[in-house]
């Protein structure tokens, strides 16, 4: 069974600071997805990473993928309050079929 | 496009009752899936479908049935509701499994008493 671990689970940071969320997974996969979820809302796609070394950036968020280390990072630059949300990574478990495995999420609170 | 729609938004059931959660998409997506979201556990895949007439089990399929008679619709049936099925259910779709992110519906909040 593919396992996806995120850390930290909870993150409280001040506006203007930088921080990184980590996503580790337990088996070979070269596709990784990041989603954002606001409280009581659905999931919104942020990034799709499709190969080793892939890097995507949107605004203050940058995601990268290292398939050899089985690690993806979501880096937050100069955080603002609007980034407060829960962030999930998900891995495409191709070897097990058409199944996506999600991490437990990182709840981010940006303090003004 | 309406995207992915789910009904109902909220439902209360008694233990042993059955019900169907509806999911529809108007984007001609081949891949559809159902997840449940529980506190501290992220999203877990219940069932998925790679096209009309084709379904398969995910990580937590017990107590749930699905069918896919059309490309647009992917209903999830709870056969005999149990309190352990209290959760938020999300339906998602993508054009194909490969290289595509999934688009999520607004969710159905289910409470089983």
**Residues A20-34: what's their mean pLDDT?**
90
Give the number of other Cβ atoms within 10 Å of residue A105's Cβ: 23
- The predicted pLDDT at position B96 comes to 73
Two structure tokens written together for B4:
């992915």
Q: Could you report the per-residue pLDDT of A32-81, keeping only the tens digit for each?
A: 999 999 999 999 999 999 888 999 999 999 999 999 999 999 999 999 99
Flag if A105 and B35 touch (Cβ within 8 Å).
Answer: no
C-alpha to C-alpha distance for B40 and B44, rounded to whole angstroms = 11
Angle of CA points B100, B36, B62, to nearest 5°: 110
Lowest mean pLDDT, pick from A18-22, A71-75, B27-31: B27-31
B41 pLDDT higher than 90: no
Nearest CB to B90: which of A33, A43, A90? A43
B74 pLDDT higher than 70: yes
- The predicted pLDDT at position B3 comes to 93
- The predicted pLDDT at position A51 comes to 86
- The predicted pLDDT at position B100 comes to 78
Lowest mean pLDDT, pick from A40-54, B7-21, B33-47, B90-104: B90-104
Which positions ≥6 away from A108 have C-beta within 8 Å?
Answer: A11, A12, A13, A21, A76, A79, A83, A84, A85, A86, A87
Report the DSSP beta bridge partners of residue A36. Answer: A44, A87
Confidence of residue B98 (pLDDT cuts 50, 70, 90): low
Residues of B in contact with A104 (CB under 8 A): 40-42
Write the DSSP string, B18-76.
-EEEEEEESS--SEEEEEEE-TTS-EEEEEEEEETTEEEE-SS-TTEEE--SSSSB--E
- The SS3 of residue A65 is strand
Characterize the bridge pairing of strands A19-25 and A71-76: antiparallel
Closest CA of chain A from B44, distance in Å? 7
User: Is B41's Cβ below 8 Å from some Cβ in A?
Assistant: yes
Contact call for residues A22 and A6 (beta carbons, < 8 A):
yes
User: Is A19's Cβ below 8 Å from some Cβ in B?
Assistant: no
Closest CA of chain A from B28, distance in Å? 18
User: Is B56's Cβ below 8 Å from some Cβ in A?
Assistant: yes
- The predicted pLDDT at position A70 comes to 93
The HSE-up count of residue A6 (CA atoms within 13 Å, CB side) is 29
A95 pLDDT higher than 80: no
Contact call for residues A46 and A36 (beta carbons, < 8 A):
yes
- The predicted pLDDT at position B40 comes to 78
Between the alpha carbon of residue A44 and those of residues A25, B63, B96, the distances in Å are: 21, 28, 18
Question: Which B residues, 60 through 89, put their C-beta within 8 Å of a C-beta on chain A?
Answer: none
């Amino acid at each position: 069974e593919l396992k996806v671990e995120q850390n930290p689970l909870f993150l409280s940071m001040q506006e203007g600071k930088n921080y990184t969320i980590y996503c580790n997974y337990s088996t070979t996969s070269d596709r990784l997805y990041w989603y954002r979820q606001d409280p009581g809302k659905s999931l919104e796609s942020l990034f799709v990473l499709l190969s080793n070394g892939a890097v995507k950036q949107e605004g203050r968020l940058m995601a990268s993928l290292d398939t050899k280390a089985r690690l993806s990072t979501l880096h937050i630059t100069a955080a603002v309050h609007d980034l407060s949300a829960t962030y999930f990574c998900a891995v495409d478990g191709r070897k097990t079929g058409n199944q996506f495995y999600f991490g437990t999420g990182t709840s981010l609170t940006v303090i003004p | 496009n309406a995207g992915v729609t789910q009904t109902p938004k909220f439902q209360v059931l008694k233990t042993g009752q059955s019900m169907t959660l509806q999911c529809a998409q108007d984007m001609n997506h081949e891949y559809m899936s159902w997840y449940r979201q529980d506190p501290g556990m992220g999203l877990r895949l219940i069932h998925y479908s790679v096209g009309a007439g084709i379904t398969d089990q995910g990580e937590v399929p017990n107590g749930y049935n699905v069918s896919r008679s059309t490309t647009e619709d992917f209903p999830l049936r709870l056969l005999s509701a149990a309190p352990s099925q209290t959760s938020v259910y999300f339906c998602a779709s993508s054009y194909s499994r490969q290289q595509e992110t999934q688009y999520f519906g607004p969710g159905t909040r289910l409470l089983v008493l």
